[in-house]
Amino acid sequence: MTGAAIACFEGAREYALARKQFDGKSIAGYQLTQEKLADMLQEIVKAQLLALRLARLKDEGKATPVMVSLAKRNNVKAALDIARSARGVYGANGITDAYPPVRHMLNLESVFTYEGTHEVHTLVLGKAITGIDAFN
């Protein structure tokens, strides 16, 4: 999931640097584009740190299914949000299959659904937080 997020971020950054608009200025020089790129990078780093921590806990035999649910829930949603934000950097080009954001968005939408759906991970976390099983 972080791989797709990184690909979207890197593609959006390269596109923003190369895309000239209005007075010939790169769109990477505009505040809103820089904000999108900064937000994407921030979420990637957070997702990587979460995955690293979970991997270390697994190596120590301390990882739990609840921790896995939390990481999957967070990192899939973060990657999907990054793909959507990257699509925005591409503008109208972002909705064509000529550029990677839409392909990654579609793949991530399926992961959001079939990898233990976001809602199921939410219920797993809810039970861990409250002690009440909302499945029944």
Instruction: Identify the burial level of 59 via C-beta atoms within 10 angstroms of its C-beta, where 0-12 means exposed, 13-18 middle and 19 or more buried.
Output: exposed
Match 């939408």 to its residue by tokens.
109
Asked about 43 being catalytic, the answer comes back as: no
- Catalytic residue (one of 14, 109, 115, 119): 115
| Non-local CB neighbours of 42 within 8 Å, separated by 6+ positions | none
Which is higher by pLDDT, 113 or 27? Answer: 27
Instruction: Give the predicted TM-score (pTM) of the model.
Output: 0.92
**With 90 as the cut, is the pLDDT of residue 113 above it?**
no
Spatial contact of 10 and 83, defined as CB atoms under 8 Å apart: no
Mean pLDDT of 113-117: 77
- Domain range for 91 is 2-130
Q: Average per-residue pLDDT in the chain? A: 94
Residue 65 falls within a domain, yes or no? yes
Residue 105 falls within a domain, yes or no? yes
Q: For position 115, what pLDDT does the model report? A: 64
Q: How far apart are CA 63 and CA 67, in angstroms?
A: 6
Question: Which CATH number goes with the domain that contains 84?
Answer: 1.20.140.10
Q: Which residues pair with 25 in a beta bridge?
A: 21
Residue 42 falls within a domain, yes or no? yes
As for how many domains the chain has, the answer is: 1
- Per DSSP, which regions of 1-136 are E strands? 20-21, 25-26
**With 90 as the cut, is the pLDDT of residue 97 above it?**
no
Residue 79 falls within a domain, yes or no? yes
Q: What percent of the chain has pLDDT over 70?
A: 99
Mean pLDDT of 18-30: 95
Q: What percent of the chain has pLDDT over 90?
A: 83
Residue 40 falls within a domain, yes or no? yes
**Band (1; pLDDT cuts 50, 70, 90):** confident
Sign of CA dihedral 59, 82, 120, 124: positive
Cα three-residue angle 26-18-34, rounded to 5 degrees: 50
Residue 136 falls within a domain, yes or no? no
Of 3-17, 28-42, 95-109, 118-132, minimum mean pLDDT range:
95-109
